[in-house]
Chains A and B, each alone.
Chain A
Amino acid sequence: MKRVGVFICHCGSNIAAAVDCEKVAENAKSFPGVAFSTDYKYMCAEPGQDLIKKAIKEHKLDRIVVASCSPRMHEPTFRRCIESGGLNPYLLEMANIREHCSWVHPDDKERATFKATELVRMAVAKVLKNEPLDKSTIPITKRALVIGGGIAGIQAALDIANAGHIVDVVEKEPSIGGRMAQIDKTFPTLDCSACILTPKMVEVANHPNVNLITYSEIEKVEGYVGNFDVTIRKKARSVDMKACTGCGTCYQKCPSKVPSEFEMEMMDRKAIYTPFPQAIPNKPVIDRENCRYFKTGKCGVCQKVCPTNAVDFTQEDELVTERYGAIVVATGFDLFDESVYGEYGYGKYKDVITGLHFERLINASGPTMGKIKRPSDGKIPKNVVFIKCVGSRDEVKGKAYCSKTCCMYTAKHATLVREKIKDSNVYVFYMDVRTPGKGYDEFYTRTTDQFGAKYIRGRVSKIYEKGDKLIVRGEDTLLGRPVEVEADMVVLATAMVAKSDAAKLAQMIGFSYDQNHFYTEAHPKLAPVETHTAGVYLAGACQGPKDIPDSVAQASAAAVKVCGLLSKEEMPTEPIISAVDEAICAGCGMCVPVCPYKAIDMKVIQERVHGKTISRKVATVNSGLCQGCGACTVACRSAALNLKHFTNEQILAEVDALCL
């Protein structure tokens, strides 16, 4: 026989002013299962809690209803209270007679009292069907995975490693460094990007806790928080990393030239190459698609010249599977395909380039050794036009969002042009100038006031070639008249977009992404580095356009989350999760796609039927992943799935109690 104790709280006069608490307590005595019922001024206060604990002992109560404020407020309090009174904390139900009753019905005590009584009756009916629940734990593998070796990935890896945990960094390219390695100078300080990035690259490469896995991609992700089994494809480098000393003889002698991706195809690299001189690891890979040996079977020059016999044409992709406790996704961004803007002539006119091309043009180790020369004829441009919001803030042809970094890097570019070419003129076509950030607006002001960049508010409508000039036509919307600039070079501030394979990776790991394929944080304000998948965190521009300081800050935040997780041997799991009745489950798998956490898998069970052993598939809930939403329970027609603490039976008991 179950013995329910009912405790009605006055909350001072908060409840008692509108609800006759004594009467509710009296009424509750007649409800089935109620062994004890009383009211008290402040249930949540020490004496109130003692009252409950004492009553549990004196009246041998085995489940408790507290009618007071919202359970969103004090459910944890009363759970702890009855636990210290000797009961399982989940044998508690609360009736919300304050927020949902006294406060909203202050003028009709009779009906408010009636409603409170009914709310208590519902809670009693439910608690009679409550089951004791226990928190369980899942083990944590103390190893983290960082996907992406750009500045965000490097920072996250360093922070995790410095906290004493082992980190693997998987980078798709032959070298870490990412986009920041391509950038020449950084705003607003104009310090050289390589000068601040390369020390970090070296630090992460030499860190005893960090394991760099370059030229590799994620192939498969299984498991859940604390226990992700990740399969990594280590692409064949065709170079034995152990033997190679990085001397560079091979790429000096290689006869196959390929446009360099790193140099935005303004320079060639070889088929055996390192992407840039400071690459880490500074050991080459063979680009098999462009290698003469792999294409024709003849050549092998690199192999012949290698002093350490490191070139190995027979290498194959290798798949390795490793278990990780947490994952940081820091896969970065791509550039918007600006050829969408035919009127700007990108791709048609050689001297219409993107901001990233410009970064290489002004870089001392770039194709022009740092001299600003226009790509078509190598002349030093005099009139340079910058166009902002190319692909950003354009719902029709581009992306609706602001790419956030373009205002500042365009100001930086404008400054650098004016600095390097003394007699130059710089024109910037803009929609708005957005400069929030420390020292940003000051930088922009210097660009216009000190360096004399001319900012023109308006869109460019057309660019066409006239002789060796580019005629840029647009409108100055502030003056309300058309403008025409004879430019030598045009630089487009193209939008940052998600990586083309961003969705694929998100699906593989199992978290969500937005319509632009940027990864979705768990909460835009309060959980900006978490994903909806426990144990998976975001850093950098894969989550949305970001500059370097923001990427680094987010990376460190993600690292803290990882460290918090890895600092524990095991983590407790919430017991309010779904459970499968295998006897009923037909294995139809309808529950699988409705689960937002990929918490349901199918497993094979064996059973005896008519003297024969048969095996069949049933659903199984992963307690590490299930968050207790109950979506699966409704998808299951035969009710083989049920959500603990909110079971079908409990909810129906409430419905029935309401209608007595």
Chain B
Amino acid sequence: MEKLKYALFTGCTAKQSTPEQMMSTMAVAKKLGIELIELTEASCCGASHLQDYDDFLSVVLNARNIAYAEQKGLTMVTICNTCQLNSAMTKHRLDNDPELKARVNEKLAEVGLEYKGTSEIVHFLYAIIDDFGLDKIKEMVVKPLSEFNIAPFYGCHNIRPSELHKKDNPYNPTSLDDLIIACGGESVDYEEKNKCCGFHVELQAPKTAATLSGNAIAGATDNNADMMVTPCPLCHLKLDTQAEHAGEAVGREFDMPVLHMQQMVGLALGCSPEELGLQHHVVDVNFTK
């Protein structure tokens, strides 16, 4: 197979509050022989908040990010559900609205860029499952996670709205479950696996946010999960760094390690815990010791 090569849109958290996500992405890509060319020109996707303030500006900035992937002739890979949603939403709108595309390109022309619509945008989760192949990952597993019950937490922005995300059924997603099984783990079924973590109202509605993440961790705990795993760093921030608040909101005390999807795959492929940044979690990940 020809070596897979993507333009990597890291998003903001991978370079700041979730350094382990960047570390594990690079470690897994290396193991699988996937080449990731970082889009160092890219700006923040607006995270749905800039979109609430100035819609057109957010479309222009996201179109600029995509234009750089197009220049490299590569598919854009994201490692954050919200980056995926905002980039894919921009592409969807531009590809279906010639008038908007013309207005955006008029602005991009001022800085010598053009949005053409030639690059696909895909989350790293689907890049490794669909493009690299689940079966091949399975063959490469050297440390199967067979002792563990693992609760998948999909994160809204990679499954909804379904018109943008055709790979999983938002009400019966299977990709992350399949990946858990390929890594040798037991996937845990629970009600909250496709629900919201509350991240986007963290500041204005901390109680709502903590209740939603609390319900999710409780659901995983009550179904005997040893750990949760998520493809989204924002969900990770809610479930890991804010776990204490989540527990308080639902009257529970949690001790639930939460792994980034890349860390889970990395462990199964034989990467070291340090290489995957497990030391950067607020809730200690003890089982690798």
A, B co-complexed: no
